[in-house]
Chain A
């Protein structure tokens, strides 16, 4: 009797791992932007390396990190 099962199940049956978005709030103009999560991001982290797309402000704060809900198709 083998201790390991033999039937192979491929990776096709796998559920896709949800990827979260990072929401940054510009500390100059208060506008909120989102982008895909990057390693090292955490909620309440102050980010100095990314410019605000609206006012060009250099400092922003991560206010949320979550997986957006899929919009239901009508």
Chain B
């Protein structure tokens, strides 16, 4: 036995000088096979890379799925708490998570803004009434917040379906370029999904979110000074107050339910109803920060600070142009995650700073007896009147 082992070792040892070096022969063979594979099958390397990428994609897709499932569970549990007992909401929740809104045709752009407004408003009303059917005993404010929760579920459901589509399509067609594109943007998509998860928790409990900072500023401005209050557009109120003999009209979504209201239509109706032309329209909103920027940073400028599909922004711009009213804007910077998750301290503290700046602008730009319109933009969940 020992003899056989020593003979075998001698074969492997190049120093034996027998010319029968088995190890070098095997290694050469392996190299030749490898070279042949790459020579005869040039896309072999790409195939291997595709395999790695698909595995990575699969892992991340699974993470997306688990976030989607968690948001669905939060939604079902929240509806169960508010809805009639002994009801199974799973199917209804799933049905509402597939709800869609078809964008208007833009081949002929004439009247597009109003078509978009009509479709969005219809979609919002229908969706809200569907949610209200599930929780007939919930207050109006709670129904609005729950509608936001369902919208988050809808968002994550769409995100998951789209990523899965590209993953499966890439796998089916072995298209590395398709897989590469989805793999490149997936870290950002996962970050958005993670934000949705945290947002679902915030909406299920009715906590104020970062996006509500504009509303928070005007709520603090009106606190203790409000003279009258009335609804001017759906879910949107006007608060009249006097600030050092200046007439201030505050436009904001009605809280504490989760809604953004219709600030564009509200400002338009308000200004058209006033006997005196406002000296200034001020909008306050959250804005997306760039990487490296500080959360809660405040910037001041000119224009209409309103995000979203653009309908509200368009209406205020049209109005201001036709009546020659200056537009002033304040924005509070935050990331997409911070905008839809519970409000951070730096954002809440920035609201107090903006409040002082708004007061200063009112006093500087309007004289005694003159009118100023201040619009607090954002989701009013957790911010009362």
- A binding-site residues for B, Cβ under 8 Å: 1, 3-9, 11, 13-15, 17-20, 37, 39-45, 62, 64-69
Contact = CB atoms under 8 A, between A and B. Distances in A.
A69 B341 CA distance: 14
Given A5-B62, A43-B382, A65-B348, 19 more contacts: A1-B172, A3-B164, A5-B59, A7-B55, A9-B59, A14-B197, A17-B198, A18-B344, A20-B343, A37-B205, A39-B205, A42-B208, A43-B219, A43-B256, A44-B384, A65-B382, A66-B208, A66-B343, A67-B344
Interface in B289-331: none
A62 B343 CA distance: 15
B345 A67 contact: yes
Nearest to A4: B65
Nearest to B205: A39
B65 A43 contact: no
B168 interface: yes
Contacts of B347: 66
A44 B164 CA distance: 44
A43 to B, nearest CB: 5
Contacts of A62: 384
Interface in B178-212: 194, 197-198, 201, 205-208
A67 B343 contact: yes
Q: Interface of chain A, helix or strand or loop or mixed?
A: loop
Closest 8 CB pairs of A and B: A42-B256, A66-B348, A44-B384, A5-B58, A42-B384, A69-B345, A5-B62, A66-B343
B378 interface: no
Contact of B343 (A17, A39, A45, A65): A65
A5 to B, nearest CB: 4
Given A20-B342, A42-B256, A8 B62 contact: yes
B83 to A, nearest CB: 16
Interface of B: 55, 58-59, 61-63, 65-66, 164, 167-168, 171-172, 194, 197-198, 201, 205-208, 216, 219, 223, 255-256, 341-348, 382-385
Contacts, number: 93
A18 to B, nearest CB: 5
A26 B206 CA distance: 23
A17 B164 contact: no
B171 A1 contact: yes
A44 B219 contact: yes
A54 to B, nearest CB: 22
Contacts of A13: 63
A52 B19 CA distance: 96
A48 B211 CA distance: 28
Contacts of B197: 14, 17
Nearest to A16: B198
A2 to B, nearest CB: 9
Nearest to B296: A69
Contacts of B171: 1
Contacts of A9: 59, 62-63, 66
A65 B341 CA distance: 12
A65 B172 contact: no
B268 to A, nearest CB: 27
Given A1-B168, A20-B207, A37-B205, A43 B383 contact: yes
A42 to B, nearest CB: 4
20 contacts: A4-B65, A5-B58, A5-B65, A6-B58, A7-B62, A11-B66, A13-B63, A17-B198, A18-B342, A19-B342, A20-B207, A20-B342, A42-B256, A42-B382, A42-B383, A64-B348, A66-B208, A66-B345, A66-B348, A67-B342
Contacts of A40: 206
Contact of A44 (B168, B207, B344, B383): B383
B253 to A, nearest CB: 13
A65 B58 CA distance: 39
